[in-house]
Amino acid sequence: MPTHLVIEGGVPLGGEVAVSAAKNAALPALAAALLTAEPVTLDNVPLLADVTTIRALLARLGAELADESDGSTRVRVASVASPEAPYELVSTMRASVLVLGPLVARAGVARVALPGGCAIGPRPVDQHLKGLQKLGADITITNGYVEARASRLKGARITTDLVTVTGTENLMMAAALAEGTTVLENAAREPEVGDLARLLIAMGARIEGAGTERIEIEGVPELSGARHRIIPDRIEAGTLLVAGAITGGDVTVVGVSPRDLTATLAKLEECGAGITVEGDRVRCQGPARPQPADVITSPFPGFPTDMQAQIMALLGLADGVSKITETIFENRFMHVAELCRMGARIETDGSTAVVRGVPSYQGAQVMATDLRASASLVLAGLAARGTTEVARVYHLDRGYERLETKLQRLGARITRVA
């Protein structure tokens, strides 16, 4: 039987747990190493399946990767050996598209398989491509691959039609080596964009305004190596806090950046959890029963779509009716049917879910088809009466570093069964 997680629910979680570095900051940071011939050293790369995927991709492109004895990861791309990101890697992880901007900026050519559809919606990359065209790249699409060519990119004013996180990152990396000034309007303000900008600035890039909706980049001819510590994972932190809230427990996450969690913490308080912030520590004391709350996902600093499935697991147990509106991804409600199998009463209509709280969940065999949906089923299992088996754990492993070990440390009865 493939690997799954077995959870005996009903234990209030308690204690402290440290969060890992952010997956969504680690992936662009690793891709940024393509921009220079010198080594880029990252102090705290999380051990995740998605990180393994991008490492494999970078190795294909010519990177030497080394895990140092101090725990850091050193990436050196002395020269780009091949400019091609093959379909088998891009299809397992859409964020592989993050190599597109750096490759064309550094090597003058990039061939990246088009990611295609994925479980949570079509997620096209048209904004990445339109932006690169504005920077002077010639873009062609043949045989499922996008090919971008430019002898040297040229700075431009780019306004994306919508807010895209990896699109902003791709264009910021490409513009860092372009000739002249680039202005990115309608840029994503996610903390991971700011973290990438800090790394690029340490490499010698000239970037202002990252973290706002207008980023200005003055291109430089070359970038150098740098050392960088990746920001904490706000989604992992939020998931662990919900684990405290949903079990009526008392959980403290440490090593977090509370400012990056503002929308999630506000929503947990609205649900009746007691939240205490002290430096890089956030404590969540779960309510006897959650209060209902309405949630609308939106780009940062709004409520993150990557926390939508987890908060739904909590609201499913609330004393009343909640409404959840997903504005970022169509089709991101696949956890609903599985939560309903555990006793939840949730109905969806397009991008809206109406959640009628029930007093308890029952354990069940469940599976999920994406990363955060899997996390929501684990959370429901922690609160449920009886045993829950979550199948397809590989989705969870894409984005959480040993989630079950962290939950065990908080007292959860959860085991991985091969």
Q: What tokens were used for 75? A: 């990436």
Segment near ligand UD1 (CB under 6 A); pick from 59-67, 117-125, 259-267, 360-368: 117-125
Contact between 388 and ligand UD1 (CB under 6 A)? Answer: no
- Min dist CB 96 to ligand UD1, Å, is 10
Q: Which is nearer to ligand UD1, 124 or 320 (CB)?
A: 124
Distance CA 64, CA 74 (A): 8
Q: What tokens were used for 78? A: 């002395």
Helix (H) or strand (E) holding 175: helix 165-176
Contact between 164 and ligand UD1 (CB under 6 A)? Answer: yes
CB atoms within 10 A of CB 8: 17
- Min dist CB 128 to ligand UD1, Å, is 5
Contact between 165 and ligand UD1 (CB under 6 A)? Answer: yes
Task: Number of residues interacting with ligand UD1: please give it, by CB under 6 A.
Answer: 21
Contact between 206 and ligand UD1 (CB under 6 A)? Answer: no
> At which residue do the structure tokens 């929308």 appear?
263
Distance CA 416, CA 402 (A): 10
Which is it for strands 387-391 and 4-8: parallel, antiparallel or unpaired? Answer: antiparallel
Distance CA 168, CA 153 (A): 16
CB atoms within 10 A of CB 107: 19
Segment near ligand UD1 (CB under 6 A); pick from 124-132, 174-182, 239-247, 358-366: 124-132
271 counts as catalytic: no
The active-site residue, picked from 118, 271, 284, 340, is 118
- Min dist CB 10 to ligand UD1, Å, is 31
In sign, the C-alpha dihedral spanning 391, 394, 399, 401 is positive
Contact between 194 and ligand UD1 (CB under 6 A)? Answer: no
Q: For ligand UD1, what does the binding mask look like between residues 126 and 155, x meaning CB under 6 A?
A: xxx---------------------------
What ranges in 62-117 are assigned the alpha helix state H?
87-90, 100-107
Contact between 305 and ligand UD1 (CB under 6 A)? Answer: yes
Distance CA 63, CA 225 (A): 13
- Min dist CB 158 to ligand UD1, Å, is 12
Q: Which is nearer to ligand UD1, 117 or 320 (CB)?
A: 117
Given candidates 167, 194, 248, 286, which one binds ligand UD1 under the rule CB under 6 A?
167
Contact between 166 and ligand UD1 (CB under 6 A)? Answer: yes
Contact 370, 119 (CB under 8 A): yes
Contact 103, 112 (CB under 8 A): yes
At 371 the three-state DSSP class reads helix
Contact between 397 and ligand UD1 (CB under 6 A)? Answer: no
Contact 234, 263 (CB under 8 A): no
Q: Per CB under 6 A, which of residues 51..110 are in contact with ligand UD1?
A: 94-95
| Catalytic annotation, residues | 118
Residues found near ligand UD1 in the complex (CB under 6 A): 24, 27, 94-95, 121, 123-128, 162, 164-167, 192, 305-306, 328-329
